[in-house]
Chain A
Amino acid sequence: MRAIGVILAGGNNHRMKELTKKRAIAAMPIAGSYRGVDFALSNMTNSHIQKVGVFTQYNAKSLTQHLSSSKWWDFGRKQGGLFVFTPSITPDHSFWSRGTVDAIYQNISFLKDSHEPYVIITSGDGIYKLDYNKILEYHIDKKADITVVCKDFPETENVDRYGVLTMNEESRITDFEEKPIEARSHTVSCGIYVIRRRQLIELVEKCEEEDRHDFVADILVRYRTQKRIYGYKISEYWSNIATVEDYFRTNMDFLKPEVRDYFFNQYPEVYSKVDDLPPAKYNVGSAVQNSLISSGCIVNGAVQDSVVFKKVFIGNNCYIKNSIILNDVYIGDNTHIENCIVESHGTIRANSYYKGEDGIQIVVEKNDRFVL
């Protein structure tokens, strides 16, 4: 492969509310069995990229635990492999990363010590399948300096939380706005970039000199006329999980047969760390409708239109509707949960009642759990 991979997984977003108290967005559980970063990592390995650096910062505990071994994504190699970088204090740098460019700069030796001519940069919070080789070919074909993967959103959808770009007929990006108040187009950046490695080193070093730290504002927007920046449109599924609403909707998308088929059944596969949990168990009284149930679950009650993650216990006579129950949650008997996201490792007492009235309610319950 002619490229190395960089996954920017340091980000946090206040729009995730309580959900990122415990973890970086890239470590958010997705679709019952996965974490956000699994999608970027699987794309890397399926595109035969052998060397990948994951740049972390914000609350990386969950993420580093998830990435404790590289073998699940088939990166356990002598040549290349998976590298997890956390910010560290050095004689000439004692800050946390001040932005995406700074995160790359702090680990610039990772780029300098590689020999592959290109770098694929992606974020850890995109849910998609993509063969990066296609973009690389396009990038070379266009003689581009930077290629930005983008997707057209429906006119009806609000795109003010994305980077929005305008392309000319040659697909060259003429305009790029980050989180515009009033968007001039409905083409959004997916946060996936291809760039020549030496070009990236040069731009990053220049930015640092000028005390600029953000890849989007200080490279894409600033250099849009100077450099040949091209867009590559994808039409396949792509979703970002950086807000509670997006996170909820993305998970619920997996209840649709076409989305499940695309991610679960079609080649290539998405990989994740294997948990070795027993099969899900349904006892008498369980009534599950239109829901995803993950391994290690024990179901005694009713579940409807929901995504239930791993190792969840649902007590007798419970009713769970239109909700997401994250990993290792214990739900006591006679509990009603509707329009909620229940944070992982929670214990919900019997006879509880939660209902998101306008929007999604996030339930964080830390009660003692009595082990039977």
Chain B
Amino acid sequence: MIEVKDLSFKFKKKPVLENINIRFGEGEFILIAGNNGAGKSTFLRCLTGVLSPLSGSVYFKDGLSKRRIGYIPDGLGFFENLTLKTAINFHTRVFRTGGFDDSLLKELDLDPDSKVKTLSVGERTLFLFSLILAQKPRLLLLDEILHAVDAYLRDIFLDRLLDMIAQYNTTVIAVNHTFTEIEKIPERVLVMENGGFIIDEKTDTLREKVKKIELGPDEPVPDDLPVLFKKETPYIREYYVYPFEEKMRTGFDLEFRDLNLADILKSFIGGYYVKKRV
């Protein structure tokens, strides 16, 4: 549905995105992780068209109209001085959407006559999401929005998000630092580093490929073990192995443990900092 070709972007002569080629299919839920400054937000902005790439292109196939693309940015400085009611009118006119469903506002007990700036960060996120829902989105881009939303609102948001996906078969691309709540949802995971994707895997495949071993204080680390990231304290010696292969279980006399997605992504991001120091 979306095809990104040779996409590059520079900010003040510094390359932010370098020659990205990637495709996203209809109804996919993709999680993008990576260290701060890897280029994740810039990539999303290039997809929305907010930023024009230096070179390369983003194709939307099957007649995907910009009106059906929703984007929730990291900083939410929108419609500050408007009342909710005015903002709704404005948004539905610009995106030429049909009726606005106010059930979410009612659930959150938000007054349509209050100003957007009086809402909490979490409420604003959900308010913007309710505007986007009126667009019947076929593509939704989420830029690290869950961390600022409290647990109660996060729950409401996730319910509505899953409803939306079921209803419109929306493709969702989510940039995230907090994974636990949504970690069962994405079927595909990307890891970004230095403006490019270093990992593009089905979630289930990635889970098979990253394992953890724990060593005792005097046990040596086997030389030929591919260690992605390690954690060493006087009490803990943990090594994250990637790419893990099943035959290693017999090759090494070690216990290879499964990891949750949050730990897997943490080890890739940690691996970046290790490489940077070397």
**Chain A complexes with chain B:** no
A contact residues vs B (CB 8 Å cutoff): none
Give the A-binding residues of B (Cβ under 8 A).
none
